Amino acid sequence: MNIYNKVSQVRNQVKEWKRAGLSVGFVPTMGYLHEGHESLIRKAASENDKVVVSIFVNPTQFGPNEDLEKYPRDLKKDSLICAGAGADLIFHPEIEEMYVKDACTSVNMNGLTDGLCGKSRPTHFSGVCTVVTKLFNIVPADKAYFGEKDAQQLAIIKKMVEDLNIDIQIIGCPIIREEDGLAKSSRNIYLSPVEREAALVLNKSLKVARKAIEAGVKNTSDLKGLIVDMIEKEPLAKIDYVEIVDSRSLKEVDFIEENVLVALAVYIGKTRLIDNFTYFI
């Protein structure tokens, strides 16, 4: 498995594969891979002849007070995980290879980016849309794989691909969790043992909400109340948002009448974690 850091190298390799009639799957990541990423790579390997994984901590999707500098990195371990899960190529560019000094073009979206994580991270999704557009142009794959943990990101990328006629199929893959229910995340490494325990409240409160919906509660302010009450009982937790939105438009709904995304972001100490589930009518 090769690790390339130049745009031209990875593009030429992928185009060579395509010319040879091979299908290509692509898994864009920020590295520090965990079993969530691994599941994406395995899925890509099962559906394509070749698999490219990109590892790039994209500065333009971090806000000024976010964790860009300390975002965890471990290329050696990442390479082993990629190879083990069936990747054929890692694209690991430097920032200068991805952004020329006078870069001034961005890809932007209205609506889908306004709520949820977009509210507290106002420039985040412009950074995501721009880098993913770039990566799709560098790696002209047939299919690209994204985790459902970043539910808003997945919805946004699907919409961007539709709106810009990008010739790639977007595949969402289920959230992978620790045995005790915590969603796998590169940021879990920031948690102290005590915070790690407190972080269980994200998934636990979502489970309570799901049970309530299944028991017939359809009023979303009641449901959000259940989640908020439970999280507020956890002293180390501070809510960023708890939202129930239409799963496609990501617009808030008062009653559950269509498929909904129940999503939350919670600070555990200084670490911002997200989790969600989609309830299908």
Candidate ranges 54-62, 132-140, 170-178, 229-237; the one touching a copy of itself (CB under 8 A): 132-140
Selected binder of a copy of itself within 109, 212, 217, 228 (CB under 8 A): 109
Question: Is residue 130 a contact residue for a copy of itself (CB under 8 A)?
Answer: yes
Question: Is residue 65 a contact residue for a copy of itself (CB under 8 A)?
Answer: no
DSSP 280: -
Residues with Cβ within 8 Å of 240's Cβ and at least 6 positions away in sequence, in order, are 120, 264, 265, 266, 267, 272
Our answer to whether residue 92 is catalytic in this structure is no
Candidate ranges 22-30, 103-111, 209-217, 227-235; the one touching a copy of itself (CB under 8 A): 103-111
Selected binder of a copy of itself within 1, 3, 7, 226 (CB under 8 A): 7
Task: State the Rg of the chain over Cα.
Answer: 19
Reported for 94-103, long-range contacts at CB under 8 A and 24+ positions apart, including other chains, are: 94/5, 95/59, 97/5, 97/6, 97/7, 98/7, 98/56, 98/58, 98/131, 98/134, 99/59, 99/60
Question: Is residue 164 a contact residue for a copy of itself (CB under 8 A)?
Answer: yes
Question: Is residue 124 a contact residue for a copy of itself (CB under 8 A)?
Answer: no
What is the rounded CA–CA span in Å between residue 10 and residue 271? 34
194 three-state secondary structure: helix
Which positions from 181 through 200 interact with a copy of itself, judged by CB under 8 A?
A: none
Question: Please, are residues 228 and 202 in contact by the beta-carbon 8 Å criterion?
Answer: no
* Smallest distance, a copy of itself to C-beta of residue 114, A: 10
Q: Give the residues lining the site for a copy of itself (CB under 8 A).
A: 7, 11, 19, 100, 102-112, 129-130, 133-134, 137-138, 140, 159-160, 162-167, 249
Q: Could you list the active site residues?
A: 37
